[in-house]
Amino acid sequence: MSDKHPQCCRTRYRDWRQQRCRYRGVIQRDGKWYCRIHDPEAVARRVDKSERQFTEKTEAKKRAAAVANQGLIDEATADLRRQLDAEKAKVKRLREACKGAVETIKDWHGPAAWDIYLNHAPEMRLITAALAETEKTT
């Protein structure tokens, strides 16, 4: 080992104990010699690369999880929308049937009796309220 390139100043853990790095110092930083492995800048670059890879991997996993979650949410939303549409269609059919029944009852009563029946019969109050409710929801 020449004076120009002394041994690397760092230690390594070998054979169950700390030993001086056996490689030649090839880079001098702040007056100390380092091998290519222990060069502080090379170490920093490796740490940066490792952190960057870890972050990229973590971000990719997060993105994949978010996509999967969004897929589940979209699927559940579409399912609920189909259920809601089916319920709305059912309510619409019931409303039309109820309106038809009210028209028939109106014809049976004749105009004078109809006003009394419409405004005083408890079942007509319920039917009128229910029809008004279905107008809001469908």
The residues near 62 (Cβ < 8 Å, ≥ 6 apart) are: none
- Give whichever of 13 and 135 is closer to Zn ion, judged by the CB atom: 13
Q: Which two tokens stand for residue 127?
A: 């039917």
| Of 29-37, 61-69, 94-102, 113-121: span binding Zn ion (CB under 5 A) | 29-37
Residue 38 binding Zn ion, by CB under 5 A? yes
Cβ neighbour number for residue 58 with a 10 Å cutoff: 10
Backbone angles phi, psi at 38, to 5 degrees: -95, 0
Does 114 interact with Zn ion (rule: CB under 5 A)?
Answer: no
> Using CB under 5 A, which of 1, 6, 7, 10 touches Zn ion?
10
Which is nearer to Zn ion, 20 or 92 (by Cβ)?
20
39 binds Zn ion (CB under 5 A): no
Whole-angstrom distance, CA of residue 42 vs CA of residue 74 = 47
Phi, psi of 81, rounded to the nearest 5 degrees: -65, -40
Out of 23, 27, 28, 118, the residue judged to bind Zn ion by CB under 5 A? 23
User: Residue type for 69, please?
Assistant: N
Which CB, 11 or 69, lies closer to Zn ion? 11
Rounded Cα gap, residues 34 and 39, in angstroms: 5
CB of 69 to Zn ion, least distance (A): 47
Which residue, 23 or 114, has its beta carbon nearer to Zn ion?
Answer: 23
Cβ proximity of 41 and 48 under 8 Å: no
Residues binding Zn ion (CB under 5 A): 8, 10, 21, 23, 35, 38
